[in-house]
Amino acid sequence: MTEDEFRALALALPGAVGAGHQGHADFRAEGKIFAGLPKAGIASLKLHPEEQDMAMAISPAFTPAAGAWGQRGWTMVDLTKVEAGFLAAMMVKARANVAKKARVK
C-alpha cells in the first residue's frame, strides 16, 4: 500500500479531515487524531490495546509505537507489508475509537 492509498482510505471515513503536526500528516475525526503518516512507508493508528494485540497477532505489519504511546494503543503499520482490506478494517476501528472519546467529553 502506498501513502497516497492510505490517505485515500483515511479521508474516505465519515467526518475525516487531513491535517498535520510535528512535521507529518495526520487524519482527524471530531478534532481527534486517529491515524497518521509519521515517516516514509510507515503509518500509525489509534487502537485500543486489545485491538492492537489482535492486529499484531494477525499481521506482522503491525507493531506498537515506542514507550507509553504504544502501551496506550498507538500502533505503527508497515505499509509495504500490510494487506489493504485488513488495514481498512483497523482504520475504521481507529476512527471509531476517537469518535467515542470525543462524545464522552
Number of domains making up the chain: 1
User: Which residue range is the domain that position 95 belongs to?
Assistant: 3-104
- What digits encode the pLDDT tens for the residues 59-90? 999 999 999 999 999 999 999 999 999 999 99
Residue 39 belongs to domain with CATH number: 3.90.1150.30
pLDDT band of residue 104 (cuts 50, 70, 90) is: very low
Q: Give pairs for 77-85: CB < 8 Å, separation 24+.
A: 77/42, 77/43, 77/44, 77/45, 78/41, 78/42, 79/1, 79/2, 79/3, 79/6, 79/41, 79/42, 79/43, 80/1, 80/41, 82/1, 83/59, 84/1, 84/5, 84/9
pTM: 0.89
- What digits encode the pLDDT tens for the residues 37-51? 999 999 999 999 999
Percent of the chain at pLDDT above 90? Answer: 85
